[in-house]
Amino acid sequence: MASMKHVRIKFLLFAALLGLAALAISACGNDVPTGAVAKVGDDTITQEEFDKWLATAAKGQSAQTGGTAAVPDPPDFKKCIAAKKKAPAPEGQQEPTDAQLKKQCQTEYDALKTQVMQFLIQAAWVQQEAEKQGIEVSDKEIEKSFEDQKKQAFPTDKAYDEFLKSSGMTEEDILFRVKLDQLQQKLTKKVSEDAGKVTDSEIEAYYEKNKERFAQPERRDLSVILTKTEAKADEAKKALDDGESFKKVVKEYSIDEASKAQGGALPAVTKGQQEKAFDDAIFGADKGKIVGPVKTQFGWYVFKVDKITDASQQTLEESKDTIKNLLRSQNQQKALDKFIKDFREEYKEDTNCAEDFRVAECKNAPKEKKQGGSGSGSGGQAAPSPENPQG
């Protein structure tokens, strides 16, 4: 059977994007009908829907934590308390009182209620916006996406069946989430497409403003020997002056293991990389000439410049593709950020919740607590999912 951690990761993608958002719709009336927990525009989220997903959330949470599978049942939480009493207390600890267990149940219920309400409300937002923009997902697309993800998550049909039993989800629930994911992807793509257009004038303006980003400074390839003392550096330099090979002298004298392993090679050094005394010596040296000793905080250097690569500047034409891709990405992100902000603000205005079911997504949302409590989510978060109560 696939581990619950594995299952949780794989099926998180069914709802991870539900926190993303879009534009506004018109609403009719602000009252939540009897038998409903919220009204989103002209649509209602029924108590029956809420109870169903709450049960799924509770079962999924218990499968992950190894706790009880009882659904918290307010206001008395009798079933929840009874289920918790069956679980043995941790070794060395006293059995909790009914009051303590009731408090635990209340906390669990508040957290699950928030997550389920966020999921159901945001699911309604996505479906309504998709309908408004004429975006549809066919049964064939849903089935294909489902099968692809199922193959990735579960090695066998048996593992999948066991997941359904332990999670409390039905295949219909999963297909619903796949549909939401597909709608979300199409909405995101539609928002991004137009924003991804970049003009030649925008590219040129960016290049002129950021020319240094497309410049390559002078680079020097060195052969170096580092010694602890000036006397050792003098010995190394004399050996080089007497005609011994750099590799041989490096092997005998150098204490810099990194360059020593490369026969003393220190490639592509640019101005400002080394401490000032060494840096000045490097860029004041003639190619091929043995220089040193040069005192640094690490010891004494003897070196020679093997190769000099002159500074260069990429042309506008050479930089064009890089700049175009960068600006496209920036423009798409800006458009998406605005899309999300507008969506949440405007859909929230059309979302009213029953008194005991208010969350951050509701127009009549409770005031945020500064500390503690079970959070009701924030505008920028992805919607927690009932099969993943921790979000």
pLDDT in tens, 50-65: 999 998 888 888 777 6
CB 185 within 8 A of CB 149: no
Kindly give, in sequence order, each residue whose CB lies less than 8 Å from that of residue 58, ignoring residues fewer than 6 positions away.
69, 70, 71, 72, 108, 112, 168
Give residue 387's pLDDT. Answer: 35
Domain 4-196+330-357 top-level CATH class: mainly alpha
Q: Which amino acid is at 267?
A: P
- What b/e sequence results for 302-316 when a residue is b if at least 16 CB atoms lie within 10 Å of its CB, and e otherwise? bbbbbeeeeeeeeee
CA distance 29 to 97: 46
**49-53 contact pairs (CB < 8 A, 24+):** 49/120, 50/116, 50/117, 50/120, 50/357, 53/116, 53/119, 53/120, 53/386
pLDDT confidence of residue 88 = 78
Share of residues in the chain with pLDDT > 70 (%): 85
pLDDT score, position 117: 95
Which pLDDT value is given to residue 66? Answer: 63
pLDDT average, residue stretch 151-170? 89
Higher pLDDT, 382 or 98: 98
377 pLDDT band, cuts 50/70/90, is very low
Per-residue pLDDT averaged across 159-182, rounded?
A: 90
- pLDDT tens for 28-51 read 345 899 999 999 999 999 999 999
Domain residue ranges of the chain, discontinuous segments joined by +: 4-196+330-357, 218-310
Residues above pLDDT 90, as percent of the chain = 56
What CATH topology corresponds to 218-310?
A: Chitinase A; domain 3 (3.10.50)
Taking only the tens place, the pLDDT of each residue in 160-169 is 998 888 888 8
- Beta strand 351-353 with 312-313 is unpaired
How do strand 215-216 and strand 312-313 relate by DSSP bridges? antiparallel
Average confidence (pLDDT) over 362-378: 61
For residue range 112-124, what is the model confidence (pLDDT) as tens digits? 999 999 999 999 9
388: pLDDT strictly greater than 60? no
Higher confidence at residue 252 or residue 27?
Answer: 252
Distance of alpha carbon 107 from alpha carbon 93, whole angstroms: 21
pLDDT digits (tens, 9 = 90+) for 284-299: 999 999 998 999 999 9
pLDDT score at 22: 33
d(Cα 159, Cα 156) in Å, to the nearest integer?
5
